Amino acid sequence: MTGPSLQTKKRLLFILVIFTIGVFVLIGKLAYLQIVQSDELQKMAFEQQNTSRTISPRRGTIYDRNGKELAISASVDTISVRPSEIKSSGKDLEQIAQRLAELLEMDKETVYAKITKNSSYEILKRKVEKETGDAIRSWVQEEKIKGINIDEDTKRYYPGRNLAAHIIGFTGADNQGLENGIEIVMEKYLKGVPGKILSEVDARQREIPFNTEKRIEAQDGLNVVLTIDETIQYIVQRELEKAIEDNKVMKGAVGIVMDPRNGEILALVSKPDFDLNAPYAAPPGYDPETWVGNTSEGVDILRKTVWRNRAVVDTYEPGSTFKAITTAAGLEENAITPETMVNDFPVEVGGWTMSCWRRGRPHGEETFREAVYNSCNPVFVKLAMNLGIDKFYGYMKAFGFYDKTGIDLLGEQTGIIHEKPTEVDMAAASFGQRFTITPIQLITAYTALANDGKLMKPRLVKELTDSEGNIVKKFEPEVIRTVISKETAETVREILEGVVSEGTGRNAYVKGYRVAGKTGTSQTTEEGVYTASFCSFAPADNPSICVLVALFDPKGDSHMGGAIAAPVAGKIIEDTLSYLGVERRYSEKDKEMMVEEVFVPDVRNKTINEAVKSLKEYDLEYKIEGEGNGESIVVEQTPKPDASIPKKSIVVLYTYKPEEEKMVTVPSVLNKTVSEATDTLKNAGLNIKISGSGSAYKQSVAPGEVVTAGKVIEVEFRELDNIE
């Protein structure tokens, strides 16, 4: 018997080699799976055997500086389904879709497509109110339907609606911050960490019987405490809205209140604005019925209109508000003193003639201090020429006009300043023309004037806190640089106080508070389009607030900053300082201008003689309606008891019970002086309440209206002469 042939041996050897290679390949593959891919395969196996649903974390609350809620997360539900489990439940899918559609206010076909889809998990609707979620939960339990999940979620809610809209920003469907506000700037702190609900499933993605869900709890986000004061924010918003209406402002407005000592923004308002709870709603001028809403076209329109934060995005020529900077540079370089004699006669630079804004009747010879009061352009041109291009633009850079301020908002812009300035450029720039800046840049520059020369970085975020209120992180004040000396800053403040008490800023004068500031009126590149502004700080000798008001394209009776922006700033200053508890210190001028008010005594059921005696004790005058003598009884009176009216006002005394009180027609007092307006109203049987000084600018009741005799008519007076 012979052994295997050579050919057979070769075949066996070949098979052995192939088998050996195959074994090694299998061993290699096994090793690869067990070692290299083990983590990935383990993860895939876990995902195949388990299904998970996300638990949204509670987004951190945004507070104002005093702990008032500006943005909160309300509890809502997310409704999701497991289609494979619903389909295998044996229930009528049409009925399930119909009921879910009714409860969720959705289209039945959309719901049906979701619950019959070939997938393991589908979201039906997010941000469902708790009442609806509870109704679905009750229905699912009653009908014993499997595969429908009702999971806790949160929805962003803004109690103030449009209050501080451009500061706060808003969130999207997934609770993520959008656009340029604090919601997106502080996203990493606010958002928190999502949790999960884990369930074991079979190969068909159906829950295994007696399965116990595992929860990985979400980690709530941190709270953000802003520097904003809700009350001051409301004051600024209220006054801007009134100014826009009164002055027919066409292109929006900006109002900022800042603490110059630490750079904290106490209020920042940009108009127009929007409701944070409905950020995609139609802006003014668009029909809500045809509005395109949350589309690329709609978002583009919203970004150009109501979402636009004009305080940090829009640039404009500051006009004469910039003269405070030129003044500071000149004083710091000893190029001038407050008492240096100057004149505002026209000056020629590079073929251009620079004249005072009060053309045809210049102020002539005056001290530099008076030139600032009167806002005389040629004086600042000559001062800039004395400084020279390098020094002048060096101060512009030092005051921060070349750089972004670094405020805690996205989208901040910088203006356009001459790269290679000529003397003509500098001459125009000396009084705030031919270059542009943002409102936030200007008020930041004024912090150096108010804070002894130290330029402060503007801040919107004060601190971060956890759910227990513990401070996690504080944001400290930051001095950018020292721009001018303390002595120069004090001198500038003293001069700018004179602008308000004696110069073009008189309409910002506030009794009891020393206000310093500078008016500004600048023309844009569009014919007839102006920006009226006023930048200020108070109290002038120890500033605790800076206030900027800018009105873009006013079309009312005036476009001058001193006439329409200064009184708005004055009202903001008065209400803010009063709210902050800053004590009033009345000067002799204040006391002369003050009209003391008294509460009307109750003289009903007294004799005429007794009533007159009582009214005289309150320094009030009277008028008798009806027949009788000194012993006749006063049956009725106007104004009613306890009404607050100025001294010397008239109280109408009735000796009979009038079926209707005596009515009078309100006369016009517009453009009259205080004494003329007072006499006009008194002669008509009416009383007056005075605010401001100068000529009557506005009255609370329109001329021609019929009111009860003795009614108090509020009249606002403004200085309209020598106002820039």
| Catalytic site positions | 320
Cα 74 to the center of its chain, rounded Å: 23
Residues 230, 66 contacting (CB under 8 angstroms): yes
Q: How far apart are CA 114 and CA 99, in angstroms?
A: 14
Name residues whose C-beta falls within 8 Å of residue 591's C-beta, 6 or more positions apart in sequence: none
For residue 497, give both structure tokens.
């106080």
Handedness of CA 306, 307, 312, 315 (dihedral sign): negative
Q: How far apart are CA 401 and CA 111, in angstroms?
A: 57
C-alpha to C-alpha distances, 289 to 61, 283, 286, 300, 719, nearest whole angstrom: 34, 12, 9, 18, 46
| DSSP-based three-state secondary structure for 167 | helix
Q: How far apart are CA 115 and CA 280, in angstroms?
A: 30
Name residues whose C-beta falls within 8 Å of residue 711's C-beta, 6 or more positions apart in sequence: 638, 639, 686, 687, 701
Name residues whose C-beta falls within 8 Å of residue 16's C-beta, 6 or more positions apart in sequence: none
Q: Which amino acid is at 288?
A: P
Are β-strands 223-226 and 253-259 bridged in parallel, bridged antiparallel, or unpaired? unpaired
Q: How far apart are CA 325 and CA 566, in angstroms?
A: 18
Handedness of CA 601, 605, 608, 610 (dihedral sign): negative
Q: How far apart are CA 232 and CA 577, in angstroms?
A: 10
Per DSSP, 251 falls in state S
Q: How far apart are CA 539 and CA 547, in angstroms?
A: 11
C-alpha to C-alpha distances, 575 to 115, 261, 392, 536, 718, nearest whole angstrom: 59, 20, 37, 15, 18
Please, what's the b/e burial string for 165-199 (b: 16 or more CB within 10 A of its CB; e: otherwise)? bbbbbbbeeebebbbbbbbbbbbebbbbeebebeb
Q: How far apart are CA 415 and CA 677, in angstroms?
A: 45
